[in-house]
Amino acid sequence: MKNVSDVQKNFDLDLEYGVEGENLLLSVFDGSRRVEVKTDRVAHKTGNIAVEYECRGKPSGISTTEADYWAFIIYSGNYIVITKTEMLKKIARYWFTHGKVVAGGDDNASMMVLIPIKEINNISLYETGLF
């Protein structure tokens, strides 16, 4: 059986960790960070998010963004993915060469790389430098 002082130490560490996480999320939404928000109407059906990188032959989207973070609101309404832009760029580069690129948007003028949602959730793989 754990004694009270051990439980208190773990609680303090867990609380500190939780507060750190809360502060990170608040920094994303407090206006000091730029967030690109995309709503994807078909991701919940296809399992992929589309990340635009070109429109009408010119760099756009992820190629030109000045945002610190990207947030994807999956149309089903109960799933939001938030990632740092630099991490999303790494993931997009990988899937650009190993995945699928499609045309879409108005008049199919935009080029987009499809990224499986599960890969956004597996960001730790990209943090290791494996991709």
Q: For 75-90, what is each residue's pLDDT tens digit?
A: 776 778 888 899 899 9
Q: Is the pLDDT reported for residue 74 higher than 70? A: yes
Band (60; pLDDT cuts 50, 70, 90): very high
Residues 100, 77 share a domain: yes
Dig out the tokens for 105 from the structure: 């948007």
Residues 4, 60 share a domain: no
Residues 58, 119 share a domain: yes
Residues 119, 88 share a domain: yes
Residues 42, 54 share a domain: yes
Residues 41, 64 share a domain: yes
What are the Cα distances from residue 109, in Å, to 40, 53, 73, 95, 103?
17, 11, 22, 20, 7
Cα–Cα distance for residue pair 109/119, rounded to 1 Å: 26
SS3 25: helix
> What range does the domain containing 9 cover?
1-33
Residues 26, 79 share a domain: no
Q: Is the pLDDT reported for residue 122 higher than 80? A: no
Dig out the tokens for 23 from the structure: 């502060």
Residues 70, 29 share a domain: no
Number of domains in the chain: 2
Cβ neighbour number for residue 69 with a 10 Å cutoff: 20
Q: Is the pLDDT reported for residue 123 higher than 90? A: no
Residues 109, 46 share a domain: yes
Is the whole-model pTM more than 0.85?
A: no
Looking at residue 13, what is its pLDDT?
61
From the list 77, 96, 98, the residue with the least C-alpha distance to 88 is 96
Q: Which amino acid is at 11?
A: F
Q: Is the pLDDT reported for residue 59 higher than 90? A: yes
CB 92 within 8 A of CB 115: yes
Residues 56, 29 share a domain: no
